[in-house]
Amino acid sequence: MNGTSSAGDEATDANGTPADANGTPAGGRATGVGVPAGIDPSRPSAARIYDYFLGGKDNFEADRAVAEHLLKLDPRTVEAVRENRRFLVRAVRHLVEDAGIRQFLDIGTGLPTQDNVHQVAARYAPDARVVYVDNDPLVLAHARALLSGGGATIVQGDLRRPDEILANPDVREALDFSRPVAVLLVAVLHFVADDEDPRGAVATLRDAVPSGSRIVLTHGTADGPYARGEESTEAYRKADRSLTLRSLDEISPFFDGLDPVPPGLTWVQRWWPERPYEDGDLRGMYAGIGVKR
């Protein structure tokens, strides 16, 4: 989901994302479902920082401080995050229309926004089923409120413990693992440190789904001439998740045992783009989809 709520009278950018008069994401305070137990507003959250970049209201002063620092390092961070969101919409449509996928396991889903996975999938296949997984109490509270009475499911889980996700009875009830499943790992693997075995987590998920399934991922990187990787990593030190930016060569092994969907692992802006991009616009994240053999 990875997202935002919005008010009708706010200024928006060209993409309809709430923004101030200067195009900066409009910040706010956590709203709607209130602040669930276990939330420390003084500790920045990766999900709420991402929400701020998308123009959301579900963030606190500590989140906005980190986000603004990241924007000072590179003002185009906002656009990279939004490009990641656009990729997700394109990917889900491809999976439904071109690959015939009807089941989605979205891990590290983030806060709800517009064009959530279940909404995009339902446009092209009303019978599509989606399971959202996250470990953030605020994400879970908002998602449960959004999905009340809907066709999607939200469960608590952590990518670092994939076996627990796969064994969750709500996941097993919602998804048929004898049929292809799209596992979505969008903007989440860079929050799993090397010593937490991210490659092992992806391999466990890959091995659990049948032939014809897809693994979809985007991953933050410090590749590129304008990257400020060390400073960006440092900005997350006090957050609930550390940031591990990886190079193209370090991200490629996540696709071991998978056949890449053209154009393969590439800049997120270049994965089936809707418009051309200049080389200077290519930054922030890599994206790719692999097919289980």
Q: Which pLDDT band, with edges at 50, 70 and 90, does 32 fall under?
A: very low
pLDDT of residue 169: 98
| Count of domains forming the chain | 1
pLDDT digits (tens, 9 = 90+) for 186-232: 999 999 999 999 999 999 999 999 999 999 999 999 887 656 778 88
pLDDT of residue 37: 67
Please say whether the beta carbons of 101 and 127 come within 8 A: no
236 versus 217: the higher-pLDDT residue is 217
> Is residue 90, in this structure, part of any structural domain at all?
yes
pLDDT of residue 40: 84
pLDDT of residue 125: 95
> Is residue 99, in this structure, part of any structural domain at all?
yes
- Which range has the worst mean pLDDT, 11-20, 104-113, 122-131? 11-20
> Is residue 17, in this structure, part of any structural domain at all?
no
Please say whether the beta carbons of 201 and 160 come within 8 A: yes
Please provide the DSSP assignment of 143-173 as one string. HHHHTTTSS-EEEE--TT-HHHHHH-HHHHH
Range among 23-27, 124-128, 202-206 rated most confident? 202-206
Residue 233 has pLDDT above 90, yes or no: no
Nearby residues of 19 by Cβ (< 8 Å), 6 or more positions away: 10, 11, 12, 13, 25, 26, 55
What CATH number is associated with residue 226? Answer: 3.40.50.150
Give the tokens for residue 109. Answer: 């889903």
Please provide the DSSP assignment of the chain as one string. -------TTS-B-TTS-BB-TTSPBPP----SS---TT--TTS--HHHHHHHHTT-S---HHHHHHHHHHHHH-TTHHHHHHHHHHHHHHHHHHHHHTT---EEEEES--S--SS-HHHHHHHH-TT-EEEEEE--HHHHHHHHHHTTTSS-EEEE--TT-HHHHHH-HHHHHH--TTS--EEEEES-GGGS-GGG-HHHHHHHHHHHS-TT-EEEEEEE---STT--HHHHHHHTTTSSS------HHHHGGGGTTEEEPTT-SEEGGGSS-SS---GGG--SEEEEEEEE-
> Is residue 25, in this structure, part of any structural domain at all?
no
> Is residue 22, in this structure, part of any structural domain at all?
no
Q: Which pLDDT band, with edges at 50, 70 and 90, does 277 fall under?
A: confident
> Is residue 39, in this structure, part of any structural domain at all?
no
> Is residue 11, in this structure, part of any structural domain at all?
no
pLDDT of residue 17: 38
Boundaries of domain holding 115: 78-292
> Is residue 45, in this structure, part of any structural domain at all?
no
pLDDT of residue 213: 98
pLDDT digits (tens, 9 = 90+) for 66-121: 999 999 888 888 888 999 999 999 999 999 999 999 999 999 998 887 789 999 99
